[in-house]
Structure 1
Amino acid sequence: MDKKNLTYLFILLSILSYGQEKHKTTFRLVDSLFKAENYDSIIALNRLSPKNNTSSARVNFILAKSYENINKEEIALLYYKKALQLYREQKDNENIAKINLEIYLLLDSQNNIKIDKNQYLESVLKHAKKTNSKKWMAAYYNNLGISFHKKNIIDSSKLYYAKVLSLSKEIDSSTMEINTYLNLGSLFSNKIKKYDSAIYYFNKAFKLYYNDTIYYKNLNTEFYLLNNLGNTYRRKKSYSEALKYYFKAEAIDLPKLNRKSKKILYSNIEATYYYMNEWEKAYDYLYKYDSIKNIINLKEQNSKISDIEEQYDNEKLRADNLESEAKRKQNQNIAIGLAGSLVLGSIIAFLLFKNTKRKQKLAEQEKELETQKLATVLKEQELTAIDAMIEGQEKERQRIANDLHDDLGGLMATVKLHFNALKEKQTPELYTKTNQLIDEAYDKVRSVAHAKNSGVIAKQGLLKAINEMAAKISALNKIQIDVIDHGLENRLENSLELTIFRIIQELITNIIKHANASEVSIHITNHDDSLNIMVEDNGKGFNPSQITKTNKGMGISSIDKRVEYLDGNMTIESEKNQGSTIIIDIPL
């Protein structure tokens, strides 16, 4: 125990040795110690004089916070329950809401605990609505946003964080604003994986934190900001930058939740050194992590918390039963009415269930129609491309035939006449003229050959056809397709372009039917000696090992045959819930 704590205990012992005023004086000392964040001294005081310190709801609240801040959550919950009971007797609704929120936060911080914590948060919401309090509504929205954050429901989380930001500015709460930017940074870093956006929100929080000269600086807030910034740089694989922020966090002497917070930090540092292949340092921090983990013993804590929760629930249930028995006759008619309401409610619930099932079925049918519609669009696109190619080929053949008949045919007839004249009159001028006509005929044949090899898919080419397909599908607002090309300024051979178009079309069809994706990227790169095609989506993915030569499915077989026909090769990369990437290389 340090000198400061010894001084407080000396004062405490002096107080306890005196008479009637000691209770009030002890209360003032407890409050003073709490404001000074001297939690060990508060707990020591309670052990020396427990009876004097547990009659006040405020003291029970302080004891609960003190035990929680030294990571004794099971004892903290016991005192929170006592404080809640005393505030209910006093009908102090503001402090009842405060305790309910603290109990919710405590239970939410415990991993793998099987207790219904939402009842406490709902109590906060009821108080916020009843008092029309922006402060309590912001607290409710904040924890709702965190809940959606943990469940990976990103849009809902962002929505409630935005509501908290708006309310925090209305009530001029910089603390709430700082915490919300911290939460947004964590969301973008951990869930959305947009690290630059995450760093932007963390820096906004830091700016508010350091510029705030009115409120008391919360070292835990600074610790969480530094730790989360470290996490973001670690995910960016900027490990040295990550360690810089982790070490700043490690240097903070946390007055609250020290062990639990440091346990998380040590785990992060250990992971960073592991990725850096610095095994010895990684082991050092793993040892620190295990040391704290063994002290906290989360499983034992959760068991005790569950016992306390069950004990208070049972006591509340017994009290309710006694009250119910005393008013049984008075409430008999109400019970009958409630039974009738229950029957009516059951009927309504059944009808609602049937209606929900019907709507669900309609939604599934609508989804199936959308899939069929997309497949029809793809089929129409394929037929349009093929018809356009055939029409173009026919026009090309007709043009070549006309050129051969009208232009080259007439020219060759003239050459024949000149040869006949040259046979009768062997003059140099006639010889020169005949030679020029032969050269002209040769040039005509070359131009026809070049025209024939120009390639045609609707006289526009492969890239144009793919862009049109992507635009038609994206226009349905179900999936966004982007086409990125490199080196496709010159056309490819006609049949090759058509085969590549069908391969890409089949890949897009598979994505629409099976992937549940919202974004697709098509990359086409001409390397002169080979053509690289890469199609990526953000869908649900699949296990590539399940696709074998005998069991390919999902249209993969027809694609593989086309690629094999072109002497190319195809690579499939995919993981569950991580999207898919198909890479095809075709020699030119």
Structure 2
Amino acid sequence: MLYKYGALVSNMYLHDSVSVTYTQKFLDHNFSVKKDTTFVLLYYVCANQLSYANKQKEAIQWAKKTLYHNALQNKKIDIRAKNLLGVCYNYTNEPKKAIEIFAKIITIAEQENDYKFLGSLNNNMAYAYDMLCAYNESEKMYKKAAYNFLKAKDTTSYFSLQTTFATNNFGQKKDTLQTVRFIDSLLKEFQNYSQPGELDHSNIYGVKSLRHFLLKQHDSALYYIDKSSNYYRKSNNSFYLMFNDMFADQIYFDKHKKLKNKQKTIAMAEEFLANESKFESQELYHLLYENAKIENNTTEALYYRDKEIELKDATLIQNQKGQLFEIDKKYQAEKKEKLLSQQQALIYKNKTLIIGLLFALSIVLLGTFLFYTRKRKQEIQAEAIRQEQFTFQLLQNTEEERSRIASELHDSVNHDLLNIKNSLINGKSIEVSDVASVIEEVRNISRNLHPAVLENIGLEASIENLCERLTEIGLFTTCEIEYNEELSKAKELQLYRIIQEALNNTLKHGKANAAKVILTTQNNSLHLEVKDNGNGFDVSQQLNNPKSFGLQSILQRAKTIAAKINIDSTNKGTVILLKIPV
């Protein structure tokens, strides 16, 4: 009873955890029953069901138990248990073990003309070659599998194989036109079958989804991938469902430029990675990287980019191994056709040539990679320097323009006002103090536009003078300065402007009654601290406010002098800290 039910759900590609539990309990209790073929098949059914549940390591143990209890008494059970063992090795990323098993039992299946089973073996071996990135060998096996499934009139396995081939072939070659044509021919062929099953429809929905995705018809692609997934949900097949969920994520992101459920995508990426499915994990980390870029989350973007590159490197190494594997396989085939004496000479010659070519190719690839990496790094550095110079020059030009305006105001307007003053002294009725006030105001404007005092008396005295003027107009401002002229005049000007802007913001917006400026030299760098006892502000909100010109000006000026800046503001006051390299 247990075997019949287990075999039934397995033949329908379904998983029933309750059936597995009862079967395992029955076998573990070691009831005194006849250890016949049916008893051995219970181990096989358990292994099969565990594999469907994506519990591959457990499935391997139960497949080995099947072989142990069978002990070659039943040849059919033996080769099917070995086939399942090979499948599990594929899923646990051990393709070489799988190929070794498949190669042995393919010979047996060929002798018995069991075309359906032979097609399954060819398909499984093709998958193992895919994992080794031996794509030429894989394609040969896919074609053999298709031939044998058609010969066995197993349309379900045939269409399952062809849909897998379409997906894998596009993943390898990225040839949209070729893939769409192949899918169209497959859909046309599918129409000729009168009674396709649920699994057939699920597979066809899957390739329809791929076709619509390649043609940028996202809604249709999402519709068909969901229809394909319905079967795997119904059959509780989490392994294949996860592949469909991954593809659905790719379709959704391609349409909306964002992930539907980032946490689910992260979980899938980690699960694929845990199952050694590096290509799928790499694709998902690429989606997470692109999503983080769109969200302007630099930290996440860098993290997922590193993950993607790490997996790409691993894939590249696997590709190289796959090429070596195919070269070696071809070499071994040719080797058998020659006499032993000729083989020895040919082995040495060809191996030397192959190794030399691979070594040369590796050197060229490595050199090219290092060259472009270094070139790219230099370009990034150069661009950063250009940007910094541009910003600095822009601010310098602004200061030069302010200097010119200040000079004109001082030399022309002030001169005219002095003449008026002299005229008034000679008998006019206008008060001299009024004109003197105008002159003082013009001088203040000139001083704000370009602090000439900075050039005359230096940075330290200029800061002290600024603090005194602010104290005179109502903001009690003190300063502590230990400065030994470590900066250039141009950088001193930018630093002075930062202090001036910070104190002006305090005066205008901070509602403070006291402020302090501290400038000291520590460990080859200048440390500036400007603080007040005002009511503070929301730093994040103001940084994102395009009207906060004063704050943006401080940040830009800090950037031009390569300073690290930190702004902390609460309802007890604001503190601006700068660290300037000298």
What's the TM-score once normalised by structure 2's chain length?
A: 0.43
What's the TM-score once normalised by structure 1's chain length?
A: 0.43
